[in-house]
Amino acid sequence: MKCFRIFGIIWLCIFLAACAGQKGQKKSPETFLAGIKQLKKGTAWYQKGCYQRALKDFLIAHEHFTAADNQNGVAMSLNSLGNVYRHIGDLDSAILFFKESVRIYIRLDDQIGQVRALSNQAAALIDGHKYQEAAVILNKAFVIAAHTQVTPVILLSNQGILLTKQKKYEKADKILQTALAKVISDNSDEIENSGQVATLYFALGNLNLARKNYQAALGFFQKALTLDQAAEFFLGIASDLAALGTTSVALSKPESAMDFLTRSAKIYALLGNQEKLSQVMAEFEKLAANSKGDIKINLDITRHFVKQWQTGKIITEPCR
């Protein structure tokens, strides 16, 4: 599943929630501001798909907020850590962090925080193919969101992705289109909201791919790629390119598929994402086995760079 990138709009919520503190609470401004600084640094790395760097900054932020006993900051840092653990494949840890974040938000009577953490917990459950459990958590989040009169786009996005996984395509399309319209109506600047819009475009691409509407899928994946390139979200770019490659194969366009898969594999290699790299290279090799000429030559060139970068011979690392 594509990583969820909806994070940019949350930064203001992070700042305001943390600044609010608790009534009568003693705060250390220096420690508190240090926590905010680390959250901001971690968010910048997170938005690029550099999760190990983000993990370090979020852990430091958590330590600062814990020392200052700023529970809003503790809850937000736990939620951020859960997002990172989810993206690096440690779903058990991710769910644990999300649950603890929810517990603190309940104690703080922060319903928006609860909805955000519950939605992220559902996303981790979807990643783990626990669709029934994810549906229960999402329903709980929707009930709480109704009391706030605000339905976060991330909640709609996750519901649409879950419905796609459950093959409820008509419902999924309606939910995702509603979410997309909501983002655009809230802010007409597509680039400003690129993380949210790209996530929705990618989800719509996957939906159409599942329905074998390959041309429509190609269009949505291309739109997601354009936004991720503008934001320099490295992992998102690699995922978009891989999806474009898969869709091009389905459309019997081997030359296009070769181009997309090459670009995707090289980015995954630079990022050190071995799991995704193996998947893309396997698809690339299958394509080359059924083709000839340029595709096989391109595969050899791609293997050269992948092997070099896998052995640590990277001059400029994207996440440095």
pLDDT of residue 307: 86
pLDDT (tens digit per residue) in 174-206: 999 999 998 887 655 554 578 889 999 999 999
pLDDT of residue 184: 81
**Domains defined for the chain, CATH in brackets:** 10-310 (1.25.40.10)
Q: Which two tokens stand for residue 167?
A: 């093959």
Alpha-carbon distance values, 83 to 15, 52, 127, 130 (Å): 18, 12, 12, 17
Is 14's pLDDT higher than 50?
A: no
One-letter amino acid for residue 7 of the chain: F
pLDDT (tens digit per residue) in 135-181: 999 999 999 999 988 788 889 999 999 999 999 999 999 999 999 99
CB within 8 Å of 230: residues ≥ 6 apart: 191, 194
Whether this model's pTM surpasses 0.85: yes
pLDDT (tens digit per residue) in 256-286: 999 999 999 999 988 888 889 899 999 988 8
